[in-house]
Structure 1
Amino acid sequence: MRPLLGRSLVAVARGTHLGPCRLGHRGRPAAPLGSRILTQPEHVFRHNMWDHVQWSEEEKDAARQKARENSAERVPREEQDKYDRDAHKFWDDFYGMHQNKFFKDRRWLFLEFPELLPPNPDCGAARAGQSGSNESAEAAGSSFRILEVGCGAGNSVFPIITSIRDGRAFLYCCDFSPRAVQLVKEHPDYDPSLCHAFVQDVCEETASFPFPPCSLDVILAVFVLSSIRPERVQSVLHRLAQHLKPGGIFLFRDYGRHDLSQLRFKKGQCLSDNFYARQDGTCVYFFTADEVRRLFTSAGLTELQNLEDRRLQVNRGKKVVMRRVWMQAKFQKPQTTPTDVTHQP
Structure 2
Amino acid sequence: MASESGHETFGHTARILTSEEIEKLQNDTQLVTDFKQNKFEKEAQKNWDLFYKRNTTKFFKDRHWTTREFKELLNDSTKNDQLVIFEVGCGVGNFMFPLLQEDPSLYFYSCDFSQRAVDFVKENELYNKDRSTVFQCDITQDNINGTVNYNSIDVATLIFVLSAIHPDKMVQALHKIYQVIKPGGCLLIRDYGLYDFAMLRFSKGHKLAENFYVRQDGTRAFYFSTEYLEEKMTSAGFIRERNDYVERNTVNKKEGINVPRIFVQGKFVKPHEKS
User: How far does residue 150 in structure 1 lie from its aligned partner after superposition?
Assistant: 0.5
The CA deviation string for residues 285-344 of structure 1, in whole angstroms up to 9 with x for no partner, is 10000011111122221211111112222235754222211110101111234x1xxxxx
Are 1:91 and 2:30 counterparts? Answer: no
In structure 2, the residue matched to 1:157 is 96
Are 1:67 and 2:25 counterparts? Answer: yes
Structure-2 separation of matches of 1:330 and 1:125: 24
Structure-1 separation of matches of 2:134 and 2:152: 17
Q: Would you say the 8 A contact 2:145–2:180 is kept in 1? A: no
Q: Cα distance 1:171–1:75, how it changes in 2: closer, same or farther (>3 A)? A: same
1:277 aligned residue (214, 224, 232): 214
In structure 2, the residue matched to 1:12 is none
Q: Would you say the 8 A contact 1:260–1:325 is kept in 2? A: yes
* Amino acid aligned to 2:91: G
In structure 1, the residue matched to 2:9 is none
SS at match of 1:68: helix
Q: Would you say the 8 A contact 1:63–1:258 is kept in 2? A: no
Structure-1 separation of matches of 2:212 and 2:240: 25
Q: Would you say the 8 A contact 2:100–2:106 is kept in 1? A: no
Q: Cα distance 1:273–1:160, how it changes in 2: closer, same or farther (>3 A)? A: same
Q: Would you say the 8 A contact 1:247–1:333 is kept in 2? A: yes
Q: Would you say the 8 A contact 2:185–2:270 is kept in 1? A: yes
Q: How does 1:104-115 map to 2 (within 5 A)?
A: 104-115=61-72
In structure 2, the residue matched to 1:118 is 75
In the comparison of the two structures, how many residue pairs are matched?
263
1:100 aligned residue (40, 50, 57): 57
Q: How does 1:6-155 map to 2 (within 5 A)?
A: 55-56=15-16, 59=17, 62-70=20-28, 72-120=29-77, 122=78, 124=79, 126=81, 143-155=82-94
In structure 2, the residue matched to 1:325 is 262
**Aligned residues with identical type, % of pairs:** 37
In structure 2, the residue matched to 1:18 is none
Structure-1 separation of matches of 2:259 and 2:239: 33
Q: Cα distance 1:300–1:55, how it changes in 2: closer, same or farther (>3 A)? A: closer
2:153 aligned residue (191, 216, 222): 216
Q: Would you say the 8 A contact 1:251–1:331 is kept in 2? A: yes
Q: Give me the TM-score of the superposition, normalised by structure 1.
A: 0.72
In structure 2, the residue matched to 1:133 is none
2:114 aligned residue (144, 162, 177): 177
Q: Cα distance 1:64–1:173, how it changes in 2: closer, same or farther (>3 A)? A: farther
Deviates more, 1:206-215 or 1:94-103: 206-215
* Amino acid aligned to 1:155: N
SS at match of 1:293: helix
Structure-2 separation of matches of 1:286 and 1:54: 13
In structure 2, the residue matched to 1:227 is 164
List gaps (5 residues or longer) in structure 1.
Answer: 1-52, 127-142, 340-345
Please say which structure displays the higher CA radius of gyration. 1
Structure-2 separation of matches of 1:220 and 1:63: 32
* Amino acid aligned to 2:63: R
Structure-1 separation of matches of 2:255 and 2:120: 34
Q: Would you say the 8 A contact 1:151–1:157 is kept in 2? A: yes
* Amino acid aligned to 1:285: F
Query: What root-mean-square deviation, in Å, do the aligned CA atoms of Structure 1 and Structure 2 show?
Result: 1.9
SS at match of 1:242: helix
In structure 1, the residue matched to 2:234 is 297
Q: Would you say the 8 A contact 1:67–1:262 is kept in 2? A: no
